[in-house]
Amino acid sequence: MKKLTLTAAAVAAVAALALAGCSADRGGQAGDESGSAGFAADATIGIALPDKTSENWVLAGGLFEDGLREAGFTGDVQYAPASNTVAEQQNQISAMVTNGAKVIVIGAKDGKQLGTQLQQAADAGVKIIAYDRLIENTENVDYYVAFDNFEVGKLQGQALLDGLAERSGHEAPWNIELFSGSPDDANSAVFFNGAMEVLQPKIDDGTLVVVSGQTDIAQTATQGWEAENAQSRMDSLLAANYADKDVDGVLSPNDNLARAIITSAKQAGKDIAKVTVTGQDSEVESVKSIMAGEQYSTINKDTSLLVEQTIKMIQQLQQGEEAEVNDTEQYDNGVKVVPAFLLAPVIVTKANAAEAYANNPNLLDIVNAAG
Ligand code: BGC
């Protein structure tokens, strides 16, 4: 962890703790000999995660449990259940405020529906960090920590172009279809807009043909990020447009949906080795699919790095400092530009998988096993 210098407030807090007869060194973090200016070193930190529709959310829960414990905090990690998810997440966040959490980290199920709970948090002096997904239409979100999602979209768009040239077996024009994520997730539009920055000029100049004509984000959306919704839309697109044509590529915003799209294309008798399907998240099954020559690409957004960065921010707040950010322009939530710490995503195809997963033994095993 970054060594933090003593602030006047930290000195005052030590004095206050000494007066109260409290131990100032709970938590035992480097740089924390002084005790806490922001809040107690063993304070409760709430982690509110959405449903488990992607592996990254499942991984994040365990990493937060371990990381917060190691940092000396008391972690309160909650997932919103699969049904009634928005209301349950609202209740969980309210309960975290009531139970005295000092920071609440939120992977929002619906980033537009947390206004009431975040007002409650602000009134209680609780800091809010939006994790992976931006929280919209409220001033009560203090920080955002995520992989650069617009860059994720651009990398997906570029991977689609690269894959088309590599494996379609013919020159442009190429027939493609577009998918986006759930409309209640702020990331969905960011991924899609990033990809379209790369793809739109190629649609305009005729290199790419969206045979269905469905290029609007509302038409391409996948409600709830549910694989079955992507699969049934792909079934309909193929039946209506590709009975006598090849589909050369599909922009898929994540791995879970990519595998559903691939299943649909296979069932319709398409030669998947020639179809370029993008993805995101480096899910185990998708890495296997990439190595088997089916899915074309994914994105490595290493969850352990994102959790580590989030915990660093919490430690800075605990010390009474501002959390470190590296972007103060991009993430306007409709009310304010939320100061953000963005990490760099990495595109992964079969060609660079060994290098991309060099630090991830599980995924590296899959790559090596595929030879
Ligand atoms: C995350 C993706 C994930 C998707 C579905 C997005 O907000 O950034 O990594 O695949 O949600 O869970």
Is a pLDDT exceeding 60 seen at residue 346?
A: yes
3-state secondary structure of 234: helix
- What pLDDT shows up at residue 102? 98
Cβ neighbours of residue 104 closer than 8 Å, sequence gap 6 or more: 45, 46, 47, 48, 93, 96, 97, 121, 126, 127, 128, 129
Q: How confident is the model at residue 350 (pLDDT cuts 50, 70, 90)?
A: very high
Residue 284 confidence (pLDDT) above 70: yes
CA gap 150, 148 in Å, rounded: 6
- Average pLDDT of span 48-53: 90
Residue ID of nearest Cα to ligand 1 atom 6: 187
User: How far, in Å, is the centroid of ligand 1 from the Cα of 255?
Assistant: 9
In the block, residue with structure tokens 């991309």 = 356
Give the pLDDT of residue 52: 87
In this structure, the residues whose C-beta lies within 6 A of any atom of ligand 1 are 53-54, 56, 132-133, 181, 185, 187, 225, 254, 280-281
What tens digit of pLDDT does each residue of 208-264 get? 999 999 999 999 999 999 999 999 999 999 999 999 999 999 999 999 999 999 999
Res 6 pLDDT > 80: no
Q: Name which of 295, 274, 276 is nearest 370 in CA terms.
A: 295
What pLDDT, on the 0 to 100 scale, is given for residue 7? 37
pLDDT in tens, 128-168: 999 999 999 999 999 999 999 999 999 999 999 999 999 99
CA of 125 to the centre of ligand 1 (A): 29
Number of the ligand 1 atom closest to the C-alpha atom of 56: 9
Q: How far is CA 82 from the centre of its chain?
A: 18
Cα(293) to centroid(ligand 1), Å:
23
Q: 87 is written with which tokens?
A: 């209301």
Tokens of 258: 């990519």
As a whole number of angstroms, the distance between CA 38 and CA 318 comes to 5
| Domains parsed from the chain with CATH numbers | 8-141+302-344 (3.40.50.2300), 149-300+349-370 (3.40.50.2300)
Q: DSSP labels for 53-122?
A: SSHHHHHHHHHHHHHHHHTT-EEEEEE--SSSHHHHHHHHHHHHHHTT-SEEEE--SSTTS-HHHHHHHH
User: What is the sign, positive or negative, of the torsion defined by CA atoms of 82, 87, 88, 92?
Assistant: positive
pLDDT at 157: 98
- Rounded Cα distance, 319 and 291, in Å: 45
The pTM of this model reads: 0.88
pLDDT of residue 37: 66
Task: Check residue 50 and give its pLDDT.
Answer: 94
